[in-house]
Amino acid sequence: MPDFRKTHAMNPLHAESIVIDGLIISKWTRPVFEDMRRGGLTAANCTVSVWDDFKSTVHNIAEMKAHIRANADLLTLVRSTDDIRRAKREGKTGIILGFQNAHAFEDHLGHIEAFADLGVRVVQLCYNTQNLIGTGCYERDGGLSGYGHEVIAEMNRVGIMVDLSHVGARTSEEAILASKKPVTYSHCLPAGLKEHPRNKSDEQLKFIADRGGFIGVTMFPPFLKRGIESTVDDYVEALDYVINLVGEDGVGIGTDHTQGYGQDFFDHITHDKGRGRRLTNFGTVLNPEGIRTIGEMPNLTDAMERAGWKPERIVKVIGGNWLRVFGEVWGA
């Protein structure tokens, strides 16, 4: 077992590569942004809305853009894949504005283009429970609504990627079939390694991949096979499992880092709309040893090499695949 406590020079392959995290929902402060740079992160889908309404979400976006301006030595806003490549050249981290719930669209399709104009590039349809679009993974799934079909068509048109990570199986399947552009499970784990409402079955993973969709594999400990006993090598095992199902071109990373948050945050996200009934109990949340912080991301590349991955596969999975699929959805 490697000693993850030792500090060493960043893995050269990691340093050279475009590294993209498909989902981070951390507390947006300068220490977190500094850790993104320490971890060699080129870009990340950063959550700015979960159960927030339209007005509150606009405020959150304005706040994130203020962070980007105040930390311009570290960050840049991403609107296109060219912006991600530019972030790499400039040694910055590109911030991709993302929602984990389409609640902020409310019942107005025009809000979708408005958010796209503000820079939003990834939106999850539902967060655990039902909304106007469909159903989350913790409720009986009624499928994609008529309005949901309209939402997906508009997201396709304006270049916002459809995310289905916390979405129920039936709504997900109907969304995958409805979308004309690739959709994603931006942060999920395989139920084949651990049964959990948030994990996806082999059939679900194959279904999205067979239709051009994309899978970001998370390392959130309640969903990993060994829970809080996991290490970065367990995370690579989960990545390997999904790659063996769907191939290495359809898989990336989506850590779901919650850095900087305490128990109040986990209490909030495990209750419906942050204030209703309890949906689940995560217990202790302790990220896998070796990748407990964003700054330890280079350890993931080390672990991939230990597992015998070829450099070509590593480069794809740590960021190259995300870059390709974002281009397919965003159009640039």
The pLDDT tens digits for 206-249 are 999 999 999 999 999 999 999 999 999 999 999 999 999 999 99
pLDDT tens for each residue of 85-127: 999 999 999 999 999 999 999 999 999 999 999 999 999 999 9
* H or E segment to which residue 252 belongs: strand 251-253
* H or E segment to which residue 93 belongs: strand 93-99
CA distance linking residue 157 with residue 254, whole number of Å: 25
Domain spans, the chain: 12-330
Cα 22–19–3 angle (5° rounding)? 100
Range 12-330 has CATH code 3.20.20.140: yes
pLDDT at 26 over 60: yes
For residue 294, the one-letter residue type is I
Average pLDDT over residues 134-156: 97
Q: How many residues does the chain have?
A: 332
Residue 288 structure tokens? 């896998």
Average pLDDT over residues 253-278: 92
Confidence band of 291 (pLDDT split at 50, 70, 90): very high
Per-residue pLDDT, 170: 98
Percent of the chain with pLDDT over 70: 98
Per-residue pLDDT, 280: 87
The DSSP 8-state label assigned to residue 135 in this structure reads: -
